[in-house]
Amino acid sequence: MAERGVVVTGPMARVVVVEQMVLVAETFGLALGGAVDARAVVVSVGSSTRSIAAEVLKARPSVVFMDCDLGPYVDCAALVEALVAQKLQVIVLTNRGDDEVFLGECLRRGAVGALCKSGGLAPIVVALRHALARQPVMDIAHARRLMAVAQNAKDSHAVGRQRLSTLTAREREVLIELMSGATAPEIARSWCLSEVTVRTQIKSILSKLGVTSQLAAVAAARHDGWVPAGSPTPSQNTQIRTRRSAAARPAPRASRRPPAAPRR
């Protein structure tokens, strides 16, 4: 059997390709040589995880190939989980071969394989053939290692979020300001506080987060996806600081010079 061929016994297998690129999705079946019934589900601006899952299920596929980058409104890992819950075999395609945490999370959610697009068509054909035969799509030891990496990252996030939860309300406000790019002197001026007070709060934040610099504190908060409910965006923070600074700035003094005498 040729390496690039797909052997299908019985009725032609149906494959769904979930992609952002229309051209890639629609030519996937042609690339497989017409050996399968390939359908395209294209992710557009108005798409959501739920709408894409419903569209895939409507096609009743045997195997789903899914690009891991489906835009900001579709959670790829959640989509994998939703499709696997309906007994579908999902294979994730990615350009981010080095993103082991993401690939491992998709495998943890039930994907049967994760392939890098840069490997070309041959590995995809092999993966499809194995999936149709209900055989392992990828090396089991490699899959387990990726899942362990994802689990370790998840545990690390949990520890980070627990540390962030120990911050006081004022410390959370200071951290939000730091995340928006504000410096200690700027925070002090905008809040009409002494710089010593702000630096004391920053020191407490660093201690509670187990880091040694403001940059590390900001990086830790972003790494753990920390965005307090109702917190302003960075641009809103900038506007708020500007208004506070303007309010704190003393009004200009009125000129005491006597009015000039009228000319005769």
Q: pLDDT tens digits, the chain, 264 residues: what are they?
A: 344 455 444 457 888 889 887 766 667 767 765 667 878 888 888 889 999 999 999 999 989 999 888 888 888 899 999 999 999 999 998 876 558 888 899 999 999 999 888 888 888 888 988 998 889 999 999 999 999 998 888 888 888 888 888 999 899 999 999 998 899 999 999 899 999 999 999 999 999 988 899 998 998 888 777 766 555 555 555 565 565 556 555 556 655 565 666 665
Global pTM value: 0.62
**Would you say 65 and 44 are in contact if contact means Cβ atoms under 8 Å apart?**
no
DSSP string, 41-55: EE--TT--HHHHHHH
What type of residue sits at position 94? T
Q: Could you tell me the strand order of the sheet in which 113-116 lies? A: 37-42, 14-19, 63-67, 89-94, 113-116
Angle, helices 140-164 vs 214-223, to 10°: value is 120
